[in-house]
Amino acid sequence: MKRETVPVRKNDQLQVTIEDLTHEGAGVAKVDGYTLFVPNTLPGELVDIKVIKTNKGFGFARLLEIKKESEHRAEPLCPIYHQCGGCQIQHLSYDAQLVSKQKQVKDVLERIGGLKDVTVHPTLGMEDPWRYRNKAQVPVGEEGGLVIAGFYQKRSHRIINMDECLIQHEENDQIIRVVKNIANKYGIRAYDEEKHRGTLRHVVARKGKVTNEVMVVLVTRGKELPNKKNIIEEIQAQIPNVKSIVQNINPKRTNVIFGDETNVLWGEEYIHDYIGDIKFAISARSFYQVNPEQTKVLYDKALEYANLTGKETVIDAYCGIGTISLFLAQRAKHVYGVEIVPDAIADAKRNAELNGITNVDFAVGEAEKIMPWWYAQGIRADVIVVDPPRKGCDAELLETILSMKPKRVVYVSCNPATLARDLKVLEEGGYVTKKVQPVDMFPHSSHVESVAQIVLEEEAGTK
């Protein structure tokens, strides 16, 4: 039997050329066919590295010095980029990020899905790829007797104080600073996760970018919040557009941010925002897309790929709060949405009502169980839209699609690898993938979202 040998050892220093970028944003080098992952490097760069860990099939190395720099290397704008870990590819110019995401989707579709000829369009990016996030949630700690808030240092639970995050809306940064100052002024102690003592665990800030409404959530260990009245007055005075101040109580020893109990301290339970013409009510714990501008780009593309005339019955599987369903409902005869989280379906129904949209039905349950049940009830979809979590579609759900035989399937994916795996199943079942459009929902991170149009073989000649 052939023995696999690892050609490098821990602490070896060597010079390599970076050949590729992983989907997590690390450079890839090969030494005698052995793969080394080197963070903070870019394809084409000649670099000196030090090996820090070797496994059987691959290893990790640290960058020592760049000998020849990539023309696409950019100076990260964020001063804490290397400590934070929230962004992975700020050191790559934005144009090159978009090209790299397109290549990543194309490569994975070929490698995992065997889809050699499918058209993968250039990634749709943002004109201004900074300050795009509408929600911040930061842990609170103490340093030198003062309350701090920021992010966990990479691979640790040590909180690094942060004044601003350049992918975050400025106003959310402002809210975090204001709450820190108020906590220090009124002696509110930060939660200490080791001793399970103290009060303030997290601050969550949410902003409706179109409506300009703001929500401040204080996550505390217990019900008690000393100086509540002063805290409310100070937040109102310093954040004039605040519409909602909420306390969430999380008494558990856990990394999960929210507890089960949420109380409005002042103002409304919800703030509102729009994606396109559709209005959404957002509560402290509601899911809502963090980059609504690019969500509109993604869902417009999904709508274009659904190619609706107003006569179609559409199923939106994994529908969440019904964002895509409500988009589709404007152009379809009827939309059925299914989602596993009951609170999300409650939000979906509320949002349908808020917008006066009546041609939608939402069901709570596993899409792979509800869809065969709908099928048995005689419901036939002309178009099926799926937007599954990272693990992709359940096999049973793909089988139901193949039995229902919709004319078109629109697949919205946050993981090109599972997209490729599922497209292969659909292609083997008589469908053709016509086109795939990557959309950059999270600039400077390695995430890539795509939407694919898949049509029945006999429909493949049509739009």
Binding footprint of ligand SAM, residue count (CB under 6 A): 20
Provide, rounded to whole angstroms, the least separation between the CB of residue 403 and ligand SAM: 18
318 annotated as ligand-binding: yes
Kindly state whether residue 273 participates in binding ligand SAM, applying the rule CB under 6 A. no
Q: Which amino acid is at 107?
A: D
Question: Could you confirm whether 319 is annotated as catalytic?
Answer: no
Q: Locate tokens 């700690």: which residue? A: 141
Give helix 395-404 / helix 416-428 axis angle, nearest 10°: 40
- 45 in contact with ligand SAM (CB under 6 A): no
User: Whose CA is closest to 410, among 400, 421, 397, 423?
Assistant: 423
Contact assessment for residue 24 and residue 88, using Cβ atoms and an 8 Å cutoff = yes
Residue 424 CB, shortest distance to ligand SAM, in Å, is 20
Annotated binding residue at 137? no
The token pair that represents 98 in the structure block: 């978009």
Does residue 366 touch ligand SAM according to CB under 6 A?
Answer: yes
Is 387 annotated as a binding-site member?
yes
Residue from the set 279, 287, 357, 459 that interacts with ligand SAM by CB under 6 A: 287
C-beta of 314: minimal distance to ligand SAM in Å? 13
At residue 113, φ and ψ (nearest 5 deg) are -95, -10
Among 28, 340, 346, 402, indicate the residue that binds ligand SAM (CB under 6 A). 340
Cα separation, 22 vs 26, in Å, equals: 5
Q: Which is nearer to ligand SAM, 151 or 442 (CB)?
A: 442
107 in contact with ligand SAM (CB under 6 A): no
Judge whether 412 and 298 are in contact, CB under 8 Å: yes
Stretch that binds ligand SAM, among 56-64, 161-169, 338-346, 428-436 (CB under 6 A): 338-346
Interface with ligand SAM by CB under 6 A: which range of 39-47, 89-97, 126-134, 366-374?
Answer: 366-374
Q: Which listed range, 130-138, 195-203, 326-334, 340-348, lies at the site for ligand SAM (CB under 6 A)? A: 340-348
293 is an annotated ligand-binding site residue: no
Distance CA 171, CA 240 (A): 11
Rule CB under 6 A: is residue 410 a binding residue for ligand SAM? no
Q: Is 37 in the site for ligand SAM (CB under 6 A)?
A: no
Contact window for ligand SAM (CB under 6 A) among 169-177, 215-223, 318-326, 453-461: 318-326
* Residue 124: CB minimum distance to ligand SAM, A: 17
339 touching ligand SAM, by CB under 6 A: yes
Q: Is 395 among the residues that bind ligand SAM (CB under 6 A)?
A: no
Distance, CA of 428 to CA of 181 (rounded, Å): 60
Told to check if 122 binds ligand SAM by CB under 6 A, we report: no
Using CB under 6 A as the binding rule, whether residue 292 contacts ligand SAM is answered as no
Catalytic residue among 84, 87, 393, 414: 414
Residue in 97, 323, 437, 450 binding ligand SAM, rule: CB under 6 A: 323
User: In the set 25, 320, 406, 438, which binds ligand SAM (CB under 6 A)?
Assistant: 320
Options 77, 237, 341, 460; binder of ligand SAM; rule CB under 6 A: 341
Q: Which of 124, 122, 137 is nearest to 169 (CA)?
A: 137
**Do the bridges between strand 242-249 and strand 159-161 make them parallel or antiparallel, or are there none, so unpaired?**
unpaired
Q: Nearest residue to ligand SAM, using CB?
A: 320
Only segment of 100-108, 236-244, 248-256, 313-321 that touches ligand SAM (CB under 6 A): 313-321
User: Does 141 participate in binding ligand SAM (rule CB under 6 A)?
Assistant: no
Annotated binding site for S-adenosyl-L-methionine: 289, 318, 339, 387
The residues that are catalytic are 414
Annotated binding site: 289, 318, 339, 387
Question: Which residues of the shown chain bind ligand SAM in the complex (CB under 6 A)?
Answer: 287, 318-321, 323-324, 338-341, 344, 366-368, 387-389, 394, 414
